[in-house]
Amino acid sequence: MIDILALPKAELHMHIEGSLEPAMLLELAARNGVAIPFATQAEVEAACEFQNLQTFLDLYYAGLTVMCGREDFTDVTYAYLRKAHEDAVKHAEMFISPQAHLRRGITFPTMMDGILEAMEAARQDFGITSGLILGLQRQFPEAEGFEVLEQARAYEDRVVGLGLGGPELGNPPSKFERVFAAARARGWKTMAHAGEEGGADYVREAVEILKVDRIDHGVRCEDDDDLVHLLAERQIPLTVCPLSNVRLKVFQDMAEHNIARLLRAGLAVTANSDDPPYFGGYVNDNYVACREALDLTDAELVQLAKNSFTASFLPQEEIARHLRSIDAAIAGAAAGE
């Protein structure tokens, strides 16, 4: 059996604010004098029982209010990148939700400078590379998205792309057609959460109207056969988050998850952690959960790891280098090294 824990991989779908470990949540609340309804780590963990996406988002938005100063953004980002490094993640593309901070008076530079500092430190300390994606919150008007794009001008070359998260039902991708067109016109990559709680029609809108490079989640695409064929034919990557989907009751348990089926249907599927402490695991925990519940073969696990690089926004030569390192790791294991 291949050691998937040690396999080089990329993580393409995680939210920096959603990587706040309970201990750091309490520490930052104390540091900044922010009142939160939890006194102990156990109380935070007990609150991680979700009925659906909205019950999680309520906790996510409450939790991120402990992030105030530049060093808080640095600490949270660096802690995630350290964990990712321990899971053999060589490259991470991370979401930040700017509106959640701007709306409570945190400035754009506070947030960005703090995160960028951690990204550089983690590159030096662990050799891990990373990219930053601005994730619009879909419950807010499209006009706010343009404000975010405007504020990002000063950080133009430090941002990989534009994403879309938050409560999906009732907030279809088409609501953001113009701001996504503006991001594409700037040369940014684009992606949207779609088909997590929303239906296949939302995935189709993200592809056809937003013209995204990747779909985040996308698991509900299976309700539309033609769409599944389109995703396979165009190799539009899906950044699937198996543990998240089970915790948010998109699937009742891991044995019901469709990631193996989608992979076997030839889609460019990847496995990711989304909001790791909230959903009970980092990226390797997701690989392990899939292997155990869905009988993924070694070859399929390797395919997931390879897909994570080919679906990334790294330059082609970097992708090729990472793919060679996966092949070398497998060859080394086969030779009994």
Please give the residue ranges that form the binding site for ligand ADE (CB under 6 A). Answer: 15, 18, 53, 60, 165-166, 193, 196, 244, 274-275
Contacts with Zn ion by CB under 5 A: the residue count is: 1
Smallest gap from Cβ 173 to ligand ADE, in A, equals 13
Burial class (CB in 10 A: 0-12, 13-18, 19+), 335: exposed
Q: Decide which of Zn ion, ligand ADE, none touches 166; Cβ closer than 5 to 8 Å per partner kind.
A: ligand ADE
Residue nearest to Zn ion (CB): 274
* Sheet bearing 89-96, strands edge to edge: 9-15, 89-96, 129-137, 161-165, 189-194, 214-217, 238-240, 269-271
Given the complex with ligand ADE, which of 205 and 300 has the nearer CB atom? 205
Identify what 300 binds: Zn ion, ligand ADE, none; CB under 5 to 8 Å per kind: none
Q: Kindly state whether residue 168 participates in binding Zn ion, applying the rule CB under 5 A.
A: no
**Residue 101 partner contact from Zn ion, ligand ADE, none using kind-dependent CB cut-offs of 5 to 8 Å:** none
Of 53 and 203, nearer to ligand ADE (C-beta) is 53
The one-letter amino acid at 296? L
In whole angstroms, give the CA distance from residue 277 to residue 48.
9
φ/ψ of 322, rounded to 5, equals -65, -40
What does 62-77 look like in DSSP terms, one character per residue?
Answer: HHGGG--SHHHHHHHH
Closest contact distance (angstroms) between CB of 335 and ligand ADE is 40
Q: How far is the CB of 53 from ligand ADE (least distance, A)?
A: 6
Cβ closer to ligand ADE: 74 or 244?
244
Choose one: 41-49, 113-121, 246-254, 271-279; the region binding Zn ion (CB under 5 A): 271-279
17 is catalytic: no
| Contact pick of 17, 205, 274, 300 for Zn ion (by CB under 5 A) | 274
The first and second tokens of residue 24, run together, are: 């750091």
C-beta separation of 50 from 280 below 8 A: no
Q: What is the CA radius of gyration of the chain?
A: 19
Output 17 or 300, the one with its CB closest to Zn ion.
17
Q: Which does residue 291 touch among ligand ADE, Zn ion, none (CB within 5 to 8 A, set by kind)?
A: none
CB of 130 to ligand ADE, least distance (A): 17
Catalytic residue among 11, 93, 168, 196: 196
Q: How far is the CB of 241 from ligand ADE (least distance, A)?
A: 7
Determine the number of helices (DSSP H) and then strands (DSSP E) in the chain.
16, 8
Binding segment for Zn ion among 142-150, 155-163, 207-215, 268-276 (CB under 5 A)?
A: 268-276
Distance from C-alpha of 127 to C-alpha of 107, rounded to nearest angstrom = 29
Distances (CA, A) of 92 to 15, 20, 131, 179, 273: 11, 16, 6, 25, 11
Q: What angle do CA 112, 192, 135 make, to 5 degrees?
A: 15
- Does position 93 interact with Zn ion (CB under 5 A)? The reply is no
- Please say whether the beta carbons of 212 and 180 come within 8 A: yes
Q: Using CA of residue 142, residue 144, residue 150, residue 154, what is the dihedral sign?
A: negative
Shortest Å distance, C-beta 64 to ligand ADE: 10
Task: List the catalytic residues.
Answer: 196
List of residues contacting Zn ion (CB under 5 A) = 274
